[in-house]
Structure 1
């Protein structure tokens, strides 16, 4: 059927609104990329920078020469990889039994997890708990401190997805002698790639972008996260390593703090953005099935 005039107008307005929103999202990235590749004279030019009129790679060279950048990158990469793997493991082990309707007191256990979405202990009790556990100045705090190990929202989405898997497949596995763990890892998880990719992406983005817990729990510069260091570089500009990097720029004609800050921002964004093309085909499917079924 041909679309009516009202439907055509609706589609045109929707495309216009989405296009304007997309441009507003792309604007800061285009500006930062242009500034990061610009010479100091071009970088301080007022207005929007669509492309660098005078290209210079000195800002990226200074960024990659910074020792703290590489330390922060390694700590953040470790946290993202290990933290995401642990989150998927623990959420799968929790969501699988909750997806079974014959689980005793299933509703009660679900409500216990749901309660934490609306009521939390707060910053000070969480800090005291982390301190009593001896996790201050430890990389382990990034992996087990709330809310990164288990996200209640992601847990419920995963539970609903598991509930949508035909029970006959699990019954067949049990007839062949498989236990609950064997059924989970051999039958359920291989069929759950969409939801695992979706929840894994959420977890990875959360770990990669997190900076507050690094500022709160870590004092050792060798364990500092990339995002925490980046905040000090861009916002505070008071850290000793940051000040040392800025001091290196004095007398260098091809570099100013604005270009280095822009280059550092681009370097931190690119790795996590690169994950989306590989997980996009699973993302929509995982969200839709996990949120509607079960």
Structure 2
């Protein structure tokens, strides 16, 4: 009887475990569905006709489909391509520069034999707790650094953030063996060679996770462009799309245009499908890139948060 009982207990535990997994899977599936439905609605509305939105509102089953929203956005043709180029350049350069600076900073404050590492750690955390504000930043960038209408103002303010440095520092301290760096020093390698040839290749998961977050922040940033950029040749995509939405709102709410002309213009403006089209143009590239970084993104954040 005892042997039978010992055999039955693992089977019961295994069935209970499978049942728990099934329930958890169902709950996660429902949660995923609720998160996915708004995204699906955005795509459907973007391809819905203006008449369908007017009569049925936002619906998963529109009466007719059209490309009116995209056609209105594509009227900006050349400027749209220029803004895409500016955003891609800022995202790539800013992510590369930020990862280089922050990884070097993180490596420095992770070394126990670095005498002033505590000072630099406090120096890094202090701006996160106390900030001079937007007005002080604007005065410094424009009056002292003379960077008004410079593309560097789209790159430098977001290149180094305290939280990203903490993630990288924690990864180096917990995942890169200190004996490996000591052996490199014994073999005659300097700090730069140790960092670039030994430490940096081992930081790929953390760099991918932080790099994806940085790229997303650069891609979605439009406030710095609104404050500092004046030239159309330096206007990023997000600021251009904000201006498109503002122009639509102006035309729909304008009181300086005659009634017949205003009615004709308002009838030709696909307000909601145009807004959803702009959302797709902003979010689309991120949705395409994310699956390639997902593995490193999860691994890097897990190591940086749990082991720290």
Higher-helix-fraction structure: 2
Q: CA deviation at 1:56?
A: 2.2
Question: In structure 2, what is the equivalent of residue 136 of structure 1?
Answer: 148
Please point out which of 184, 188, 212 is paired with 1:173. Answer: 184
Write the deviation string for residues 204-250 of structure 1: whole angstroms up to 9, x where unpaired.
0111111111111112222112112222223564789xx9xxx9xx6
Residue 294 (structure 2) pairs with residue 280 (structure 1): yes
Change (3 A) 1:48 1:38: closer
Question: In structure 2, what is the equivalent of residue 75 of structure 1?
Answer: 86
8 Å contact kept, 1:92–1:158: yes
Please identify, of 20-29 and 280-289, the stretch whose mean Cα deviation from structure 2 is larger. Answer: 20-29
Please point out which of 48, 71, 80 is paired with 1:38. Answer: 48
Change (3 A) 1:5 1:78: same
8 Å contact kept, 1:232–1:238: no
Residue 280 (structure 2) pairs with residue 270 (structure 1): no
8 Å contact kept, 1:59–1:259: yes
Question: In structure 2, what is the equivalent of residue 25 of structure 1?
Answer: 35
Please identify, of 191-200 and 252-261, the stretch whose mean Cα deviation from structure 2 is larger. Answer: 252-261
Once residues 276 and 55 of structure 2 are traced to their aligned partners in structure 1, the CA distance between those partners, rounded to angstroms, is 14
CA-atom RMSD in angstroms:
2.9
Once residues 18 and 135 of structure 2 are traced to their aligned partners in structure 1, the CA distance between those partners, rounded to angstroms, is 53
Question: In structure 1, what is the equivalent of residue 172 of structure 2?
Answer: 162
Question: In structure 2, what is the equivalent of residue 196 of structure 1?
Answer: 207
* Runs of 4+ deviating beyond 4 Å: 3-11, 18-21, 250-255
Once residues 120 and 89 of structure 1 are traced to their aligned partners in structure 2, the CA distance between those partners, rounded to angstroms, is 24
8 Å contact kept, 1:232–1:239: no
Q: CA deviation at 1:6?
A: 11
Structure 2 unaligned segments of length 5 or more: list them. 1-9, 255-260
Question: In structure 1, what is the equivalent of residue 5 of structure 2?
Answer: none
Q: Between Structure 1 and Structure 2, whose CA radius of gyration is higher? A: 2
Q: CA deviation at 1:278?
A: 0.4
Question: In structure 1, what is the equivalent of residue 108 of structure 2?
Answer: 97
Change (3 A) 1:59 1:48: closer
8 Å contact kept, 2:56–2:62: no
Once residues 65 and 80 of structure 1 are traced to their aligned partners in structure 2, the CA distance between those partners, rounded to angstroms, is 25
Please point out which of 60, 65, 69 is paired with 2:70. Answer: 60
8 Å contact kept, 1:64–1:70: no
Question: In structure 1, what is the equivalent of residue 7 of structure 2?
Answer: none
Once residues 87 and 130 of structure 1 are traced to their aligned partners in structure 2, the CA distance between those partners, rounded to angstroms, is 18
TM-score if structure 2 supplies the norm length?
0.81
SS of the residue aligned with 1:202? helix
Once residues 53 and 122 of structure 2 are traced to their aligned partners in structure 1, the CA distance between those partners, rounded to angstroms, is 53
- Count of aligned pairs between the two proteins: 284
Please identify, of 20-29 and 223-232, the stretch whose mean Cα deviation from structure 2 is larger. Answer: 20-29
Structure 1 unaligned segments of length 5 or more: list them. none
Question: In structure 2, what is the equivalent of residue 292 of structure 1?
Answer: 306
Q: CA deviation at 1:51?
A: 4.5
Change (3 A) 1:79 1:239: farther
SS of the residue aligned with 1:49? coil
Q: CA deviation at 1:5?
A: 7.1
Write the deviation string for residues 122-171 of structure 1: whole angstroms up to 9, x where unpaired.
111000011121111110111112xx111100101100111121122222
